[in-house]
Structure 1
Amino acid sequence: MAMIDKDAFVASLNQDPEFAVAGRFFNGSMKLDMGDDPVLLTFRDGKLANLSTANTFDAADVAIRGSEEDWHEFLQLVPKPFYHDMFAAVVREGFEWSGDVVTLFAYYGAFRRMFDVMRQNATL
């Protein structure tokens, strides 16, 4: 995950009290296709248990795809309009999501906080 400091992101997310509350029951996975740098995030009991390089055949409960340029805009500390939130970025910009809609929206608060923490650990 070249756009963020992977180790700092995992540590920050697992220590974040807002994420701990919002994601406390989440057991699942999310695949992020960040241009040429796909990653697989695996969550257990509301903690980010593993962050690894994803391959084409990795399945995930939720997947989000975007170009490297779109991720660069999204990960800015102060993003421009419609890059401030993943739902807005999917609806108005070049991001796509797929997977289990129930999981996506049941844990959207946790995912939103996760992306905020990801921004704080960006290496742009």
Structure 2
Amino acid sequence: MLNLALAAFPERANGDGELRIAARLWTGVLRFDVGERMYSFPFEGGRLAEVMAGAAGENPVRPYTVRVSAPEEGWHELLAPVPRPFYQDLYGAISRHGFAVDGDFETFFAYYPAVRRLIELLRIEVAAGEP
């Protein structure tokens, strides 16, 4: 299971200048389905409001704008400190490793740099949480 410090992550993410630029004006919910778990990242005016976690089948309070889903093993590969080929970027994982995207594709592509940066920050977070 992914090891995320959920309570502190929004503050660290909002303090990241690259994410602030890439996510500016974004209002919507990015959801990652990680095997049987889901992590929901609501953005309001370009700022990450919080991180919510739950079971992938749960109906969250706020519906997602964009959802990225994959088996947990795929997410471990994507969030590895040094990902192997085609896991270095979400696009490679989608095209080669069974990751799926659904929801509002215009929003997904408009804010793809923000999604990429969020994944990079999660990669750092996961590496820091490993024993």
Fold shared, TM-score > 0.5 on shorter chain: yes
The residue number in structure 2 matching 1:39 is 39
The residue number in structure 2 matching 1:90 is 94
Unpaired runs of 5+ residues, structure 1, are none
Distance 1:94 1:8 in 2: 30
TM normalised by structure 2 equals 0.87
Which amino acid is 2:81 matched to?
Answer: L
The residue number in structure 2 matching 1:53 is 53
Tell me whether 1:108 sits opposite 2:112 in the alignment: yes
**More RCO (CA 8 Å, sep 6+):** 1
Please report how far the alpha carbon of residue 43 of structure 1 lies from its aligned counterpart in structure 2 after TM superposition.
0.4
Please report how far the alpha carbon of residue 45 of structure 1 lies from its aligned counterpart in structure 2 after TM superposition.
1.1
Distance 1:79 1:7 in 2: 26
The residue number in structure 2 matching 1:5 is 5
The residue number in structure 2 matching 1:76 is 80
Query: Does the 8 Å contact 1:3/1:72 carry over to 2?
Result: no
Please report how far the alpha carbon of residue 9 of structure 1 lies from its aligned counterpart in structure 2 after TM superposition.
2.5
The RMSD of aligned alpha carbons is 1.5
Report percent identity of matched pairs.
35
The residue number in structure 2 matching 1:29 is 29
Distance 1:62 1:100 in 2: 6
Unpaired runs of 5+ residues, structure 2, are none
Distance 2:9 2:124 in 1: 8
User: How many aligned residue pairs are there?
Assistant: 124
Q: Can you list the C-alpha shifts for 1:8-33, whole angstroms capped at 9, x where unaligned?
A: 43222110000001111100001111
